[in-house]
Amino acid sequence: MVGQTLSHYRIVEKLGAGGMGEVYLAEDTTLKRQVALKVLPQELAASKERLDRFQREAETLAALDHPNIVTIHSVEEVDGVRFLTMQLVEGKRLSELIPKSGMPLERIFEIAIPLADALAAAHDKGVIHRDLKPGNLMVTDEGRVKVLDFGLAKLRPDLEAGEATELPTEPLTDEGRVLGTVPYMSPEQLEGREIDARTDIFSLGVLLYEMATGERPFRGDSSISIITSIIRDTPLGIDTLRPDLPHHLGRIIRHCLEKEPVRRYQSALDVRNELEDLKAESASGEVRRTAAVAPRQRHANLWRGLAAAGLALGLAATVVIWQAWRSGPSQKGTVIPDDRPPMIVVLPFDNLGSPDDEYFADGMTEEVISRLASVDGLRVISRTTAMQYKGRRPSVKQIGKELGVDYVLEGSVRWEKQPDGPSRVRVTPQLIRVADDTHIWTERYDRELEAIFHVQSDIAQSTIDEVGVALLEPERQALDSQPTENLEAYQAYLRGLYYWRLPDTSAESFELALENFREAIQLDSEFAQAYSKLAGVHAAMIHFGHDYSAARREAGWQAAETALVLAPESPRVRTDIARFYYFADKDYDLALEQLALAEVKLGRDPDILALKAPIIRRQGRWKEA
C-alpha cells in the first residue's frame, strides 16, 4: 500500500504489522501532519472476528484520554478498506531499550510509574489491555511512555449501560489458539478463565521483572514450556539477580506476579503508588538495598544504616509537615516566636544494660513520646523520625537544624534484674535547649520495675513544665495513664513492639511480634493496646505480601474488634485500627474516619499525621498530603 492514498491520507511507509492489522506512516494532506494509520487488510476483513476486534480497538482508544496512551484521531472506511488513524509516536519500543543486565533504578521508575498510571486510567474506564509487552510500549524521544495496540482489549462486562460500549467477552482461547503474547500472559489468561484488570497487573509484573533484570521471569524452549512455567514456577528473586536494587522493588514485582489474582495488587493505582513511594525513598537516600544480612546481625544493627519503606515515608512526611511549625529559640516559660508551640524530639534512649534489653529501652522511648504527644500545646517529632538517630548521635545543633526542633530530650536506661528480689530500673533523662545547647533539666530515677509507669509520667511532666506548656486536666490525666497493671504483660508488649518496629519487615520479625503480643494478652486479657497492635501486625503480614489468607484477615479483625470493645475511647487504639483498614483492606475512607476520631483527643499527633499523609496521597490529594 506504500505510495497509495486513502481519502486524504498518503501512505509513506510500512511501520509494522500485528494480528489486528498493518500499521503505516501516513501524511494527512488536509492538516499537514503525519499520523499512524492502521489498516485491516482486505483478506482479513472477511473474518467477522477480525472486524469486531478492529472496531473494538477503535472504540477502546476513543474512550481513553491519557497522556501515556496513544491518541486515536478517526475511524474510516474508503473503497472497502477499514482503517483508523492515530497519533504518530516517534521513539523506541521498550524492547529496544532494555539492556541485558537490566535498567538503572531511576530509568525503571521513569517508565514503570507512567505505565502503571496509564493502566489505572484504562482500568478506571473498564478497559483491560490483555497484551502488554515491550513491543507495545513506546518511549518517545522526549522520554514519554506511550501504550500502544489495544487490539486485544476488552471492557468489563459489569459496566452499566452508558458508561462504555459493551464489548464481547469471549474466552481467550479458541480452538487451541491463545490471544496475546505468551511470555507476558497471566495464568488465568492462559487457562481461559474469566479475567479482569488484574491480568494486566501480572503482565506489568513481567515487564517490571524484565526491566530490572534484562531477563523474562518465565522462560522455555517452546510456548508450551513457557506456559507451564508461568502456571507452576516461581521466578528467581530480584534480590539474587540485582542485589543493587531496593528490596522493596523485588517485593512489588513478586506481588504483581502472584499466580492467583486475589493475591496480587488489586489495582494498577496501588502499583503506581507503591512505585512512587519507593522512588521518593530512593531519592532521599534512605532506601534499603537487597544485600542479605544474617538474622542475628540484622537484629543487632538494624537501626544502623537501614531504613524500610515505612520509616523513610514517616521521616519524609513528618519532617515536611512539622517544618511548618518550625520555631526559633525559647526560654523556659516564654512564648515561642510567632506564637507557635515549642517542638521537641525524644531521641532513642540508650540501653546501658544487657543487649537483650534493647526492646525495653526502645519501649521507654516510645512511651515518653506517646505521653508528650498527648499534650496539645507541644509539638513532638514522630517515633519513626526520631529512631533515625538510633546508633548515631550528631550534635544537638545539627539535630535542631535537621528537624527544626527547639528541644532535645535524650536519656539512658539500665534494667537490673534481681534473681532474689524486685528488679530495678535506672533512667537518666536530660532535656537540652537547642538555641544555646544548654541542659535545662536532668534527673536520675532509681526505681523498682513496678514504678516504671510513674517514671514515664514524671519524665513527661517535668519536660512539659520546663518548656513552659500549661496542661489541661484531661491532658494531665493522660500523662498518668498506664496501659496495663501486669508488668509481665507489659514486658511482652514492649518485645512485640520491638519486633514489629524492626525495619526489615520480614515474616520472621512479624511472627516474633505476634508471639509476644499474644503472650501479653494471655497475661492480661483486657490489654486493649496489645489487641490493637496484634491487629496491626496481622495487617502488616498482608500488606508486605507474607500472607493474604482469609484466616489472616479474620484474625486481624477479631483482634481489632476486641480492642475497640475494651477501649472505644482510646485514640491509640483508633490509630491502630486505622492502620488495619489501610494496610489490610486498602479502605482509605474508613481509615481516615478512625484517624479523625483519634485526632479529637490527640490533635496534630505525629503518628497520626505520618499515617494520614500516605492515605490521602493514595486518594490523589497530593497537595494536602
- pLDDT tens by residue, 414-423: 988 877 777 8
In-domain check, residue 441: yes
Residue burial 321-331, b: 16+ Cβ < 10 Å; e: rest: bbeebbbeebe
Residue closest to 132 by CA, chosen among 279, 320, 271, 318 = 271
Measure the CA–CA gap between 273 and 591, rounded to whole angstroms.
17
Query: In CATH, what number is assigned to the domain containing residue 563?
Result: 1.25.40.10
Residue 33 has pLDDT above 60, yes or no: yes
Residue ranges in 9-47 assigned as alpha helix (H): 42-45
Residue closest to 151 by CA, chosen among 217, 52, 249 = 52
Query: In CATH, what number is assigned to the domain containing residue 33?
Result: 3.30.200.20
Beta-ladder partners of 92: 139
- For 518, the grid coordinates are 499474644
In-domain check, residue 532: yes
Q: In terms of domains, do 477 and 490 share one?
A: no
In-domain check, residue 290: no
Q: In terms of domains, do 201 and 344 share one?
A: no
What pLDDT score does 316 carry?
Answer: 40
The answer to whether the beta carbons of residues 544 and 310 sit under 8 Å apart is no
What pLDDT score does 375 carry?
Answer: 84
Give me the mean pLDDT over the 438-458 stretch. Answer: 90
Q: In terms of domains, do 79 and 121 share one?
A: no
What pLDDT score does 343 carry?
Answer: 92
Phi then psi dihedrals of residue 193, to 5 deg? -80, 165
Query: In CATH, what number is assigned to the domain containing residue 339?
Result: 3.40.50.10610
What pLDDT score does 349 carry?
Answer: 93
Q: In terms of domains, do 176 and 152 share one?
A: yes
Q: In terms of domains, do 115 and 23 share one?
A: no
Residue closest to 212 by CA, chosen among 187, 237, 234, 192 = 237
Residue 34 pLDDT grade (very low, low, confident, very high; cuts 50, 70, 90): very high
List, for residues 596-618, the tens digit of each pLDDT value. Answer: 988 887 777 777 888 888 888 88
**DSSP for residue 109:** H
Give me the mean pLDDT over the 320-326 stretch. Answer: 32
Q: In terms of domains, do 446 and 305 share one?
A: yes
Give me the mean pLDDT over the 544-550 stretch. Answer: 86
User: Is 373 in a helix, a strand, or coil?
Assistant: helix
Residue 426 has pLDDT above 50, yes or no: yes
The answer to whether the beta carbons of residues 133 and 203 sit under 8 Å apart is yes
Dihedral sign (CA 382, 388, 393, 394): negative
Total structural domains within the chain: 4
347 alpha carbon, distance to own chain's centre: 26
Residue ranges in 184-292 assigned as alpha helix (H): 187-190, 198-213, 223-232, 238-241, 247-256, 268-284
Q: Which residue has the cell 511482652?
A: 492
Q: In terms of domains, do 31 and 148 share one?
A: no
Measure the CA–CA gap between 162 and 373, rounded to whole angstroms.
51
**DSSP for residue 389:** G
Highest mean pLDDT (candidates 108-117, 459-468, 476-485): 108-117
60 vs 304, higher pLDDT: 60
Q: In terms of domains, do 496 and 397 share one?
A: no
Residue 623 pLDDT grade (very low, low, confident, very high; cuts 50, 70, 90): confident
Residue 501 has pLDDT above 50, yes or no: yes
In-domain check, residue 198: yes
In-domain check, residue 72: yes
Q: Which of 227-241, 471-485, 532-546 has the lowest mean pLDDT?
A: 471-485
In-domain check, residue 289: no
Residue 623: Cβ within 10 Å count: 6
Q: Which of 111-115, 158-162, 188-192, 435-439 has the lowest mean pLDDT?
A: 158-162
Measure the CA–CA gap between 17 and 42, rounded to whole angstroms.
14
Query: In CATH, what number is assigned to the domain containing residue 169?
Result: 1.10.510.10
Residue 43 has pLDDT above 80, yes or no: no
Last residue of a domain, which of 54, 87, 120? 87
What pLDDT score does 341 carry?
Answer: 86
Residue 558 has pLDDT above 50, yes or no: yes
What pLDDT score does 174 carry?
Answer: 38
Last residue of a domain, which of 87, 109, 135? 87
Give me the mean pLDDT over the 267-292 stretch. Answer: 74
The answer to whether the beta carbons of residues 279 and 113 sit under 8 Å apart is yes
Residue closest to 583 by CA, chosen among 514, 531, 536 = 536
* Mean of the per-residue pLDDT values of the chain: 81
Domain with 131, as residue range(s), is 91-284
In-domain check, residue 602: yes
Residue 317 has pLDDT above 80, yes or no: no
With a CB cutoff of 8 Å and minimum separation 6, the contacts of 93 are 134, 135, 136, 137, 138, 139
Q: In terms of domains, do 158 and 269 share one?
A: yes
Phi then psi dihedrals of residue 503, to 5 deg? -75, 5
Last residue of a domain, which of 87, 116, 146? 87
Is the full-model pTM beyond 0.75? no
Q: Which of 37-41, 106-110, 148-152, 334-338 has the lowest mean pLDDT?
A: 334-338
Q: In terms of domains, do 128 and 71 share one?
A: no
Residue 450 has pLDDT above 80, yes or no: yes
Measure the CA–CA gap between 238 and 448, rounded to whole angstroms.
50
Q: In terms of domains, do 526 and 431 share one?
A: no
Give me the mean pLDDT over the 312-328 stretch. Answer: 35
Give me the mean pLDDT over the 153-166 stretch. Answer: 40
Q: Give whole-number Cα distances, 273 to 120, 124, 318, 614, in Å.
A: 11, 15, 19, 9
Residue 145 has pLDDT above 60, yes or no: yes
**What type of residue sits at position 235?**
P
Q: In terms of domains, do 385 and 360 share one?
A: yes
What pLDDT score does 308 carry?
Answer: 37
List, for residues 343-386, the tens digit of each pLDDT value. Answer: 999 999 999 988 889 999 999 998 899 888 888 888 899 888 88
Residue 306 pLDDT grade (very low, low, confident, very high; cuts 50, 70, 90): very low
